[in-house]
Amino acid sequence: MNYMSKKMQEIGVIGDSDIVLAFRTLGMQVASCDSPQRANMAVHRLVSQGIGIIFITEDIARMIPETIDRYNSNPDVALIPIPGSKGTDGFAMQSLKSNVERAVGANILLNTEET
Amino acid sequence: MSELRVNPTRMELTRTKRRLVTAKRGHKLLKDKRDELIRRFVHIARENARVRKEVEESLQNALRRFALARSVMDGPTLESALMYPARSARVSMGRRNILSVQVPEIHVDEESLSETKQTYGYADTPYELDEAISTMADILPQLIKLAEIEKTCSLLAEEIEKTRRRVNALEHVMIPQFEETIRIISMKLDEAERSSIVRLMKVKEIIAER
């Protein structure tokens, strides 16, 4: 649409060391961390580098809800939860459901789809 | 419902009536906006759930392959093989406008998708690693799509919530308030008119008696 606003940027990944290794092969900017403080710092560092898409493993996303909320309404920064090395724990689906609930007022559609 | 505190004058009456008309029109527009947003949101949310499920599955698969590769080679060799990434994943982020909600539109740079040479020798790495890397590369477009749609979904949800608040505020607070105010002002004006008529009749009577 607006050609000038499009600029190339990298993709960020925050997760444990296994995930980070796998995503580094794709050439993403990675940050491995194990504590909420370091996760917060990693998010801010990636955002300040101008990275707009950051994938975060669910277990880490769970630790930093305030940071995730802060970027929720910012169209330039997308923090996307992905399943970690132990598989999904339903955090991402939960937040999707709460979005639907917030918008539609009831969570009829996703439930019928799953069953 | 409480009325607005205004002077019961003709001027206030016309002003309030005008505000009522504006509020009603705004209410109708916002209601239409809300309905359309919800209609689109439902589509996008369904799509989001589908894409997410796909991504979760394929990511699971790719990570399993990585675990496999890790199990057949020792840590330092793996680390050094992957020390320098063979490709760089780049995307361009644009904006799209859904009913004046700015949502991101993400494109993957072509080069990130193309096959690239490996930066490690084949000699001391097992083929499992090559496989793991190529499965990872395959899910990149899916991941980007997920990012785009999930962000869109949450932005839309927020906008719908805001719009709904506004619709409700207009419908249940502002509009009744204006209506009540109009009713009260016109009642008071009528009353004043009646009392002035009575006064005039009285005055006329007094003059006629003389």
Residue from the list B82, B89, B136 with its beta carbon closest to the beta carbon of A11:
B89
Whether residue B123 contacts residue B158, with contact meaning beta carbons closer than 8 Å, is answered with: no
Which of A7, A24, A104 has its CB closest to that of B85? A24
- Chain B positions in Cβ-Cβ contact with residue A99 (cut-off 8 Å): 45, 153-154, 157
Number of domains forming the structure of chain A: 1
pTM score, whole prediction: 0.81
A-chain residues within 8 Å CB-CB of B91?
Answer: 8-11, 52-53
pLDDT of residue A4: 42
Asked whether the predicted pLDDT for residue A2 surpasses 50, the reply is no
**Does residue A95 form part of some domain?**
no
Q: Does A110 touch chain B if contact means CB atoms closer than 8 Å?
A: yes
Q: What is the DSSP string of B55-124?
A: HHHHHHHHHHHHHHHHHHS-HHHHHHHTSS-SS--EEEEEEEEETTEEEEEEEE-HHHHS----SS-STT
Strand-pair category, A7-15 with B90-98? antiparallel
Q: Is B5 helix (H, G, I), strand (E, B) or coil?
A: coil
Percent of chain A with pLDDT over 90: 0
CA distance to partner chain B, nearest, from residue A113 (Å)? 8
Q: Does a structural domain hold residue A18? A: yes
Q: What pLDDT, on the 0 to 100 scale, is given for residue A3? A: 44
Decide if A113 is inside a domain.
no
Mean pLDDT taken over chain A: 78
The residue range of the domain holding A31 is 11-85
CA of A37 to nearest chain B CA: how many angstroms apart?
A: 24
Structural domain contains residue A31:
yes
Q: What residues of A are in contact with residue B45 (Cβ under 8 Å)?
A: 96, 99-100, 103, 109-110
Domain locations in chain B as residue ranges: 10-209
Helices B10-72, A91-104: axis angle to 10 degrees equals: 160
Q: What angle do CA A81, B128, B113 make, to 5 degrees?
A: 55
Q: Could you read off the pLDDT of A50-63 as tens digits, one per residue?
A: 888 888 888 888 88
Question: Is this complex scored with an ipTM above 0.85?
Answer: no
A34 domain residue, yes or no = yes
Give the C-alpha separation, B39 to B42, whole Å.
5
CB B111 within 8 Å of CB B45: no
Optimal mutation site among A53, A68, A85, A91, interface B, most CBs of chain B within 10 A? A53
Which has the higher per-residue pLDDT, B33 or A109?
B33
User: Residue A62 belongs to a domain with what CATH number?
Assistant: 3.40.50.10580
Write the CB contacts of B11 (distance below 8 Å, at least 6 apart in sequence).
none
* A101, part of any domain: no
Q: What is the pLDDT of residue A1?
A: 41
Closest Cβ opposite residue B63 in set A5, A72, A85? A85
- Per-residue tens of pLDDT for chain B, all 210 residues: 567 778 889 999 999 999 999 999 999 999 999 999 999 988 888 888 889 888 888 888 888 888 887 777 777 777 777 766 666 777 888 888 888 888 888 887 766 666 555 666 666 677 777 777 788 888 888 888 888 898 898 899 889 999 999 999 999 999 999 999 999 999 999 999 999 999 999 999 999 998
Q: Which residue has the higher pLDDT, B155 or A96?
A: B155
DSSP conformation letters of B144-172: HHHHHHHHHHHHHHHHHHHHHHHHHHIII
Is 1.10.287.3240 the CATH classification of the domain at B10-209? yes
Residue A51: inside a domain, yes or no? yes
Residue A46 sits at the chain B interface (C-beta within 8 Å): no
A3 lies in some domain: no
